[in-house]
C-alpha cells in the first residue's frame, strides 16, 4: 500500500457552495490522481462503493473513462485515467481561470474537462489484455446507483457486468453508518465487506463501556426504588400550582425524548448495524426504566415507544417483500397503525403523572415531620 500526502487544492467555487454542498469543498483533491505518473492507469474510486466482483479489466481502459448514471453528466464515484503531469497542470490552470462548474465539486469540474464523453464508445475490454487509447463511456454496471436496487429489491442492470454499487445519497445515509440498515438494506452488504477486511476492533472498547454504563444505570435504578423519589415532590395541593405541575410534565416529556435520543448519538457511527441497533435498544431501555422510576410512570406506557421501534425494525428488515414499493407501503402502513397507540400511551402517561401530582397530600417533603393519619396508614 502506498500513501501519498498532498496539499488541499483551493476550491475557487467555495463562495458559491451552500448547505449540504459544503461537503464538496475538498473533493477537487481527486485531481492529484493525474500526478501518479508511476502508473500506466489509475482507477479512482469513492469510499461509498461496494465491489461485487473483480474489475481488473478497468486498467485496460483509455485516457479517461467514466459512467453516466445521469442522462447528461457522468459520475465521478469511479473513473479511469491515465496519469499525466501536463493534464494535471492544465486542470490547475482551469481552476485559476475559474472554468464553469455546475456543482462546485470534482464532478462538475471534470464534466467541463470532458464535455464530449457522452458521444464516445462504450468500453469493451480487449480479450488479449491490451490497453486502449482515447476516452470511453463505462457500462452502467460499474456504477450501479443503489436506488435501482431499492425500487425492485434486486438488481436488473442489463448493460455490462454488475460489478460496483455506489451510494450517491444524503450524507447521513451512507452505507458505513450503523443506522443505514435496515432503513437502506444494502448497508449490510457494505458492512459485510468491512467485517471481512478490517473488522471492528476500534469500536468494541467503546461499545463495552456503553454496555457497562447501561447495566450500572439499571442496577442503580432497581436498588433505589421510587420510594424516596416521592419525597422530592411537593404534593400539598395548597402549594402545588398549575405552573409547577406543567413544569414537571414538561420535564417528564424531555426525559423520555432524551432516553431515546442519547443512546443514538453516543454509539460509534461506523459500528456494525447489528451491534449498533442492539446497543441502541439496550440503552433506550435502560434510560426508559430510569424515567419510569424517577417520575413514577406506568412502565407499559413508557415502553410502548420502545416496542414500536423494535417492531419497526422487523417490518423494515423483513426479507420477503416483492419490491421496494411494497416495502415502503408496509412501513408507512405500520407507522399509521402504530401512531394511535403511541398517542394513547402519551396521554395515559400524562394522566398518570397528573394523578400522582394531585393525590397523597399527606406525603411530607424532605425535612418535614410526618403526620400520622388514618388515610396515610391505609395507603
Reading the block at residue 200, the C-alpha cell is: 471492528
Distance CA 155, CA 25 (A): 33
For residue 377, give the 3-state DSSP assignment.
helix
Q: If you compute the radius of gyration of the chain from its CA atoms, what whole number of angstroms results?
A: 29
Q: 67-117: per-residue pLDDT in tens? A: 998 888 899 999 999 999 999 999 999 998 888 888 888 998 999 999 999
Asked whether residue 365 carries a pLDDT value surpassing 70, the answer given is: no
Min mean pLDDT across 7-21, 73-87, 102-116, 363-377 is at 363-377
Question: Which pLDDT score, from 0 to 100, does residue 367 have?
Answer: 44
pLDDT range class, residue 17, cuts 50, 70, 90: low
pLDDT range class, residue 379, cuts 50, 70, 90: very low
Contact 361, 236 (CB under 8 A): yes
Q: 171-185: per-residue pLDDT in tens? A: 888 889 999 999 888
% of the chain residues with pLDDT over 70: 87
Q: Where are the alpha helices (DSSP H) in the chain?
A: 85-97, 106-113, 146-152, 180-183, 187-197, 204-223, 242-266, 273-295, 299-302, 304-317, 324-358, 374-378
Question: Which pLDDT score, from 0 to 100, does residue 228 have?
Answer: 41
pLDDT range class, residue 356, cuts 50, 70, 90: confident
Residue with grid cell 418535614, as numbered in its chain? 368
Which residue, 351, 372, 348, 361, is CA-closest to 233?
Answer: 361
Question: Which pLDDT score, from 0 to 100, does residue 286 have?
Answer: 95
Asked whether residue 362 carries a pLDDT value surpassing 50, the answer given is: no
Q: 260-282: per-residue pLDDT in tens? A: 999 999 999 999 999 999 999 99
Distance CA 89, CA 51 (A): 32
Which residue, 193, 196, 236, 160, is CA-closest to 48?
Answer: 193
Min mean pLDDT across 40-44, 126-130, 160-164 is at 160-164
Which residue, 134, 136, 132, 133, is CA-closest to 121?
Answer: 136
Question: Which of the residue ranges 96-110, 223-237, 267-281, 355-369 has the most confident prediction, judged by mean pLDDT?
Answer: 267-281
> What rounded mean pLDDT belongs to the chain?
85
Question: Which pLDDT score, from 0 to 100, does residue 241 have?
Answer: 67
Phi first, then psi, for residue 81 (nearest 5°) are -145, 160
Question: Which pLDDT score, from 0 to 100, does residue 247 have?
Answer: 86
Min mean pLDDT across 2-6, 113-117, 238-242, 255-259 is at 238-242
Which residue, 257, 236, 233, is CA-closest to 247?
Answer: 233
Q: 325-348: per-residue pLDDT in tens? A: 999 999 999 999 999 999 999 999
Q: 304-321: per-residue pLDDT in tens? A: 999 999 999 999 999 899
Question: Mean pLDDT, to the nearest integer, of 243-253?
Answer: 85
pLDDT range class, residue 225, cuts 50, 70, 90: low
Amino acid at each position: 500500500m502506498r500513501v501519498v500526502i498532498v496539499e488541499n487544492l483551493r476550491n475557487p467555487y467555495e463562495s458559491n457552495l451552500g448547505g449540504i454542498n459544503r461537503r464538496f469543498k475538498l473533493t477537487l483533491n481527486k485531481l492529484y490522481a493525474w500526478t501518479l505518473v508511476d502508473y500506466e492507469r489509475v482507477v479512482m474510486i469513492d469510499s461509498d462503493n461496494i465491489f461485487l466482483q473483480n474489475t481488473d479489466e478497468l486498467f485496460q481502459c483509455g485516457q479517461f473513462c467514466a459512467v453516466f448514471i445521469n442522462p447528461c453528466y457522468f459520475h465521478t464515484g469511479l473513473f479511469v485515467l491515465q496519469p499525466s503531469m501536463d493534464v494535471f497542470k492544465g486542470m490547475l490552470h482551469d481552476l485559476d481561470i475559474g472554468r464553469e462548474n455546475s456543482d462546485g465539486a470534482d464532478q462538475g469540474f471534470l464534466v467541463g474537462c470532458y464535455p464530449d464523453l457522452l458521444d464516445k464508445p462504450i468500453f469493451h475490454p480487449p480479450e488479449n489484455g491490451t490497453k486502449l487509447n482515447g476516452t470511453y463511456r463505462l457500462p452502467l454496471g460499474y456504477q450501479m446507483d443503489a436506488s435501482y436496487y431499492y425500487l425492485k429489491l434486486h438488481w436488473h442492470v442489463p448493460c455490462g457486468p454488475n460489478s460496483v454499487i455506489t451510494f450517491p445519497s444524503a450524507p447521513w445515509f451512507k452505507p458505513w453508518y450503523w443506522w443505514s440498515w435496515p432503513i437502506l438494506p444494502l448497508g449490510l452488504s457494505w458492512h459485510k465487506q468491512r467485517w471481512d477486511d478490517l473488522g471492528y476492533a476500534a469500536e468494541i472498547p467503546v461499545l463495552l463501556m456503553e454496555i457497562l454504563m447501561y447495566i450500572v444505570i439499571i442496577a442503580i435504578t432497581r436498588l433505589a426504588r421510587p420510594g424516596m423519589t416521592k419525597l422530592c415532590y411537593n404534593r400539598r395541593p395548597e402549594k402545588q400550582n398549575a405552573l409547577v405541575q406543567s413544569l414537571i410534565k414538561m420535564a417528564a416529556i424531555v426525559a423520555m425524548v432524551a432516553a431515546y435520543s442519547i443512546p443514538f448519538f453516543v454509539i460509534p457511527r461506523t459500528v456494525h448495524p447489528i451491534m449498533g441497533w442492539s446497543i441502541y435498544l439496550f440503552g433506550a431501555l435502560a434510560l426508559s426504566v430510569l424515567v419510569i422510576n424517577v417520575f413514577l410512570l406506568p412502565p407499559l406506557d413508557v415502553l410502548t415507544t420502545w416496542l414500536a421501534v423494535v417492531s419497526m425494525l422487523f417490518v423494515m428488515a423483513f426479507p420477503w417483500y416483492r419490491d421496494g414499493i411494497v416495502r415502503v407501503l408496509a412501513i408507512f402502513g405500520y407507522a399509521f397503525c402504530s401512531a394511535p397507540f403511541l398517542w394513547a400511551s402519551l396521554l395515559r402517561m400524562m394522566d398518570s403523572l397528573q394523578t400522582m401530582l394531585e393525590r397523597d397530600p399527606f406525603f411530607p417533603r424532605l425535612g418535614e415531620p410526618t403526620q400520622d393519619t388514618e388515610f396515610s396508614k391505609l395507603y
